[in-house]
Amino acid sequence: MSTTSSDPLATLGTLPGVTDAVDSVRKAVDRVYGHRVMRRRSNEVTSEAALRGARGSAALSGADWNLEEVRRRTDFTGDSEARVVGAALRLTAEAGQLLSIWRQSPLRVLARLHLVAAGGAAPEGAVGRPRLAGEPVDEPLIEAPLPGADEVAGRLEGLSGLILSGSEAPALVMSAVVHGELLALRPFGSYNGLVARTAERIVLIGSGLDPKSICPAEVGHAEQGRAAYVAAFEGYLSGTPEGMAAWIAHCGRAAELGARESTAVCEALQRGAA
């Protein structure tokens, strides 16, 4: 993300293809918010979007469960897949409650997200804090080289500074950078993918692009598939303008697909079928 601009995120927003992605996301979100069902049943749409978003995020982390199974289950303390789905559901429920803290202390929110995700499934003392030197990381989807603990600490501080300083960049750009940077760092010993996608959600909500949290980008990430997700993320890791633009566009497509999912939910509610 090196640039001579005083607002590096705004510079990313001018990359070829990114402006089109931003416009497409805005139009898709506006269509959902303009649906007549949203005038009286927005809470139902929000709840359903949370469930579907959690299912999508869990699928990317290796627990690709049927939506109805996620809806039906109440016990997520079984095998590793059940714990992943449970973590995704808890994170989605927590996201909307952390907006005011995110604006003041993003690192505190990230620690909270890991605490919520891990529950009692991580070694005592390793929950809710960035990993220390030598501590292992369980993140099977992302195989990129793992930054050392000192680099993680420095880059987390840099990311926090970017968030707190504000930017003229579109919400899509900010959310994609937050998501990508957390995937690159994998700052915790576990559940980094789930935490990164939840942070993306928080940015989209807090920016005002999706204040009711009805356009779950996690759905779109899962729909595009794990291979496409990893390939786009490699563009982020490259740091090149083309790679960054490809990652942001991928995240934009995910948000569009999430908006489409909620449009379908609105249509089903209107028909009385959901």
For residue range 207-217, list pLDDT tens digits in order: 999 999 999 99
For residue range 126-143, list pLDDT tens digits in order: 788 999 999 999 988 999
Q: pTM value? A: 0.94
**What is the pLDDT, as a whole number, of residue 26?**
96
Is pLDDT larger for residue 149 or for residue 274? 149
**What is the pLDDT, as a whole number, of residue 273?**
54
pLDDT at residue 1 greater than cutoff 70: no
The pLDDT confidence band at residue 123, using thresholds 50, 70 and 90, is low
**What is the pLDDT, as a whole number, of residue 124?**
61
pLDDT at residue 8 greater than cutoff 90: no
**What is the pLDDT, as a whole number, of residue 3?**
38
For residue range 168-201, list pLDDT tens digits in order: 899 999 999 999 999 999 999 999 999 999 999 9
Percent of the chain with pLDDT over 70: 95
| Residues contacting residue 252 through CB under 8 Å, at least 6 positions apart | 18, 21, 22, 24, 25, 172, 176
- The SS3 assignment for 211 reads coil
**What is the pLDDT, as a whole number, of residue 120?**
63
- Cβ atoms of 12 and 177 within 8 Å: the answer is yes
**What is the pLDDT, as a whole number, of residue 121?**
60
Note the residue count of the chain. Answer: 274
Rg of the chain in Å (alpha carbons)? 18
Instruction: Work out the average pLDDT over 10-25.
Output: 93
The pLDDT confidence band at residue 7, using thresholds 50, 70 and 90, is confident
**What is the pLDDT, as a whole number, of residue 119?**
80
Please state the three-class secondary structure of 90-133 as a single string.
HHHHHHCCCHHHHCCCHHHHHHHHHHHHHCCCCCCCCCCCCCCC
For residue range 96-116, list pLDDT tens digits in order: 899 999 999 999 999 999 999
**What is the pLDDT, as a whole number, of residue 4?**
40
CA 38 and chain centroid, separation = 23
pLDDT at residue 6 greater than cutoff 80: no
**What is the pLDDT, as a whole number, of residue 162?**
92
**What is the pLDDT, as a whole number, of residue 10?**
86
